[in-house]
Chains A and B, each alone.
Chain A
């Protein structure tokens, strides 16, 4: 699949990086402002989805391939689990470290909460992006033989 029209490609070129930046902000400032790992991860995934829809899967594979999505998904889950297990150093599962809490309102505060947010953000973003790739691309590829490709609205511009 080659992607969409020139207008969409140019707009995507302008805004995709800002969407990803906003997602990173939501994830990293999750313990200070509304948001958190889940919402920020979904925003990151939506930036990648935009790139896939606009430029096609061949281009997006250079940025974030499906294998990378799978690895990031698993790595985020493992890091979150490790944060939970590290609570045993402080006494209990998922216990926060009182020495590392810092002052309220600073970026480096709240102990393990920012780390958990980051792990969840990576996990959710990569997982959703992987599911999007699976739903939108694998299935399509599997059905291309049996169905006529002219009805695919997203691809008509690039193919002409």
Chain B
């Protein structure tokens, strides 16, 4: 087996265990530390899969989230937080674990080899699904008949990005070129989501302050 895949599976198991500990532990501080360990493993996974942009973002966001959570937990010190251990919860955890094991086995089995017929890891579904001329930027021929299609024409979205990306966006970092040029509309949606979340946090927390003190805590 591919050593990269073995390492990925080991990290995946580590993340599973860490997540379970984070859910099941009684101490909130231990829970936060487990979340940090899971984030670190996820960071290594991103690096191994060749996604440094994601790795940087994951590491930084993880750190700042940990700081904020620690700050809140250490300030509040709420000890009366007991987890319920009903049989339903344990059963559902086992069910999810079973599904994950089945998924891993399905991913490991070769397609056509009697497994679950799942695609190999890293083989996207859209690789050979028809022409991707719609992904070409404005100015390129939009619709090419199949008989005129040459070998150089990319057959997938990823191929179109790789073929036209550097020439059309002139961004040496392809990821940024796609995020802020090809898919900038999605990025605007993401920015809107963050903006709304920030506004919601302000509104909720400010309401608490007003309610307790009878004056505006935010605009002191």
Contacts and interface: CB of A to CB of B under 8 A. Distances in A.
A136 B194 contact: no
Contact of A94 (B61, B71, B175, B184): B184
**Chain B facing A: main interface SS:** helix
Contacts of B175: 34, 36
B185 interface: yes
Contacts of A138: 205-206, 208-209, 217-218
Interface residues of A, number: 67
A77 interface: yes
**Chain A facing B: main interface SS:** helix
Contact of B64 (A46, A70, A81, A123): A46
Interface of A: 26, 30-39, 42-43, 45-46, 49, 53, 66-67, 70, 73-74, 77, 80-81, 84, 91-96, 101-105, 109-113, 116-117, 120, 123-124, 127-128, 130-132, 134-136, 138-143, 145, 147, 151-154
Chain B interface category by residue count: 35 or more
**Residue picked from B55, B63, B64, B213, most chain A C-beta under 10 Å:** B64
A124 B194 contact: yes
A81 B184 CA distance: 10
A96 B74 contact: no
B173 A32 contact: yes
**Residue picked from B60, B138, B169, B218, most chain A C-beta under 10 Å:** B60
